[in-house]
Structure 1
Amino acid sequence: MIKILKNIMVSNGLVVVDVDVDSEISDFYLYRGSSSQREEYFLVLELTDTSNETLRKFLDEKAQEIFEDIQKSGKVEIFFEKNCTMLICINSEKLDPELVLALEEDPYNFKKNVIIYSDSELAELDNYLVSRPMEAFTGDMINDVLNANDGRDFLAFKYQRGRNVLYDLVIRVVLKLPFLVYKPREQKLENLSEKIDEAISDDNYEIFNHMLKAEWTDENVLDHVESIWGDKI
């Protein structure tokens, strides 16, 4: 999963910062905006031990240690302290949701976003990327996934039934990364007048026009019905 996130970062104009951190976590990468107008950092890491105990220890101790080591590295700008998001990838479906929520709501140091994924979701995403002539995890690719199947995948995600694992993972990632923008597909509006004309038979078309032209009130409903339908009622 961290490989996918690295792809997303590079594809969206962020550059890697070469920084060493004295931590047990070896698989981590620091990115920053490539221009002065984009003063933000993203620290991407993966926890290989997916137990609740490890996550709790990370929340209580490791996050603080990493924050201090990066601050003292001399490789980051002053805005790092106020504008850095930690993206934590965890391959697990059995974590305590309350613990994940506590990690994301922890107000100290980094803003923390947890991306939980399963092996089946990651395999589906890998297959999707391999099957298409693209190397970058782009906004267009994201919108293709989220707009597919005429919105039925969103309803399945919302109501937790018959779900598309590819859609689930992509929308989870989009919700955690502020620079990814979902663009709903514009729906082509149908011409209702044409649809009505097509649905009404020739025999009933004259009656339909009379109904539209009549000025209906509570007092004249019966008169209009008799004049329009005559002996057909």
Structure 2
Amino acid sequence: MDKLFDNLMERLFIESNFSLTRSEYVEEDYKCSTLLYIGQNQQGDYFIYLQLPERLLPYVNNDIQIRLAALIKNQANDFEKMTDGEVKISSSFDKNATLIIFTTHEASVNENVVKQAISIEEDPYFFKKQVLLISDKETPTLAINFSENKDSFIAYVQRLISDTERFNEFTSTNLFGLTDKGVEYSFIARLYEKVPFLSLKVTPSNQEILQQKIDNKLTAEQLRECEKLLDLDLNDLESWVTELVKEDKSND
């Protein structure tokens, strides 16, 4: 199975300062072998990630997730440590664990696969769950994007998702004819939707600078009127509005 998305999620975990462990996960009944990651943040939330082939989605709710839960609770201490921080499975694991599944599919995803993904996400047992479907045709473009930005991947995805020009370009494009830039933006948008610990980078506003800009636009008389208005209680405000209306009528 392609390691692109394993490497990508590993970067997200590490750059988010998670404690991280991983292990090979083998489903002998389904002839599948993949990597299983457990990330834990400082708040005690757990995020379990693995990539599964499309053909195994129907078995997640009634079989695979049950085996995963048992494996994690009984053998997590044997997983390979990826960071200095230790992943500790506590009694709150059941309430604070999210399972993130990446699944690649053929370019023409059928309605049944989408329904299976929705069914997994709506299932209330064992884990909160998110399923990210990725087209095989997207993979080459995404591999290039990751290779170029893997050293600071979170900064890259935050920068891209906040780019209004790229957003406008993406939303005005026919989804069936996406350019490489469209594929790139579409994937990052879905990544934000399906990976709960990703957050937008918000630049805090400076209230003092904003107030100064407002003051500069007002005359001295307007500033005095503003100060009077802010000092009025509800009754005074009604009287002030009444007087203002009278002045307007007398000026007509």
Given the two structures, how large is their TM-score scaled by the length of structure 2? 0.62
Question: Which of 182, 186, 194 is matched with 1:176 structurally?
Answer: 194
Question: Is residue 57 of structure 2 the alignment partner of residue 41 of structure 1?
Answer: no
Structure whose alpha-carbon radius of gyration is higher = 1
Matches within 5 A, 1:95-174: 96=112, 97-132=114-149, 134-138=150-154, 140-148=155-163, 150=165, 151-153=167-169, 155-156=171-172, 160=175, 163=178, 164-174=182-192
Cα distance in 1 for partners of 2:6, 2:24 equals 18
Cα distance in 2 for partners of 1:152, 1:117 equals 22
Residue in structure 1 matched with residue 38 of structure 2 by the alignment: 31
Structure 2 unpaired stretches of 5+:
78-88, 205-212, 214-247
CA contact (8 A) 2:8 2:146 kept: no
- Alignment deviations for residues 31-71 of structure 1 (CA, whole Å, 9 cap, x no partner): 2325xx420111111113x13xx311222211111112211
- Alignment deviations for residues 4-49 of structure 1 (CA, whole Å, 9 cap, x no partner): 1122111111122255756345323232325xx420111111113x
**Amino-acid identity (%):** 21
CA contact (8 A) 1:32 1:41 kept: yes
Matches within 5 A, 1:216-227: none
Cα distance in 2 for partners of 1:3, 1:64 equals 25
Where 1:67 maps in the other structure, the secondary structure is helix
Structure 1 unpaired stretches of 5+:
192-215, 221-233
- Equivalent position amino acid for 2:91 in 1: I
Given the two structures, how large is their TM-score scaled by the length of structure 1? 0.67
Instruction: Report which of the two has the higher share of helix.
Output: 2
RMSD after superposition: 3.6
CA contact (8 A) 2:23 2:37 kept: yes
- Alignment deviations for residues 117-160 of structure 1 (CA, whole Å, 9 cap, x no partner): 1233232222223345x51321x211222233623145248x84
Question: Is residue 18 of structure 2 the alignment partner of residue 14 of structure 1?
Answer: yes
Cα distance in 1 for partners of 2:45, 2:202 equals 27
